[in-house]
Amino acid sequence: MITGASGYIGSWAVKDFLEKGYTVRACIRDKNNPDKVQHLLDLANETPGTLELWEADLLKEGSFDAAANGSAAIIHMASPFTLRFKDAQKDLINPALQGTKNVLNAANRSGTVKKVILTSSIVAVFGDNLEMKEKGLSEFTEDQFNTSSTLTHQPYAYSKVLAEKEAWKMAETQDQWKLVVMNPGFVMGPVLSQASDSESLQFMKDMLGGKYRTGGADLYFGFVDVRDAAKAHRLALENDQAQGRYILCSETKGFMDVAEIIRKKYGKQFKLPGMKTPTFLLYFMGWMFGLSLKYVYRNIGRPIKLNNSKSIQNLGITYIPFDKTIEDMVEKMISLKMI
């Protein structure tokens, strides 16, 4: 059973499992919406696995029970990833936290689920880049938990850490299923559905569309290819030794590194940022890009390092190079006329 199966990462997870011959119960909100399901049906026709479509709602208690009953494992990917929201509690916290409770309660009631792979995020490990310095770390590992995010500062990150901690709490109260958590960095790469509304795609649309043409922030992320993020869930499911959390990250790069990769391949085709915006300017202009003064201070100009060795050694991941991730993403968006 895969929740959020029509999403950006979820679609690739469905593809990966189907290619390996699994029977996949894809949970989506509306299985009659062709924009959300047609690409999944196409994947099923091209692969040896079997696809089943099930309707479920993160906020509806018991709506995952039917799909969980008879499933051997659950891949829980459904959770809002958006920086465009009106009410953080309603739009981010409630779906992430209540959705996790509903899915894990379905696992408890199923009598058949033996393993749950939860898609958390690197932002459940840390909320602000400054935390690495504040905690005296040379790198972030799976041992850290985000302690800086709140409902008013980095609410998306706050929703992810709340949901993950709740999952670990619930896992400890039962002995039917084992919990393994994926903590992917900023997920990028080609999309499988033109209807995807992922924040990753919006980031790339803004980059290519000229939103940052006057300058890019000196901001650093840990990136991972969407194909690797999806594959990691299957590897964790199939590996009996998989346990705990896994940071999924190919490379740590800056905002301007993304622009340079695109410029190298496409030249002047897109209105890319040509220089870094001086950090001091963002204290005055950051609000134009939705950046608070606190965010600028705690993140801009502060490099980070993520330790991905556990995912490589324990899951056997060979990460797709970052350049290829970005190039494949742009090529796909061009082919689908998304830009």
Report residue 169: phi and psi, to 5°: -65, -45
Both tokens assigned to 219: 């901001």
Beta strands 220-225 and 251-254, pairing class? antiparallel
Q: Are strands 178-184 and 50-55 parallel, antiparallel or unpaired?
A: unpaired
Spatial separation of the C-alpha atoms in residues 189 and 199, rounded to whole Å: 12
Q: Position of tokens 């409630």?
A: 94
For residue 160, indicate whether it is catalytic: yes
Q: Which of 275-280's residues contact partners 24+ apart within 8 Å by CB, and which partners?
A: 275/215, 275/216, 276/215, 276/216, 276/217, 276/218, 277/214, 277/215, 277/216, 277/217, 277/218, 278/215, 279/217, 279/218
DSSP symbol at 197: -
Quick one: tokens of 157?
């990150």
**Pick from 249, 246, 231, 222: nearest CA to 310:** 246
Distant-in-sequence, close-in-space partners of 121: CB < 8 Å, separation ≥ 6: 157, 160, 183, 184
Tell me which residue of 71, 18, 68 sits closest to 40, measured CA to CA. 18
From 160, 231, 253, 310, the catalytic residue: 160
| Two tokens, residue 286 | 């950051």
**Across 131-288, where does the E strand assignment appear?**
178-184, 186-188, 220-225, 244-248, 251-254
Kind and range of the H or E element at 27? strand 23-28
The residues annotated with a catalytic role in the active site are: 160
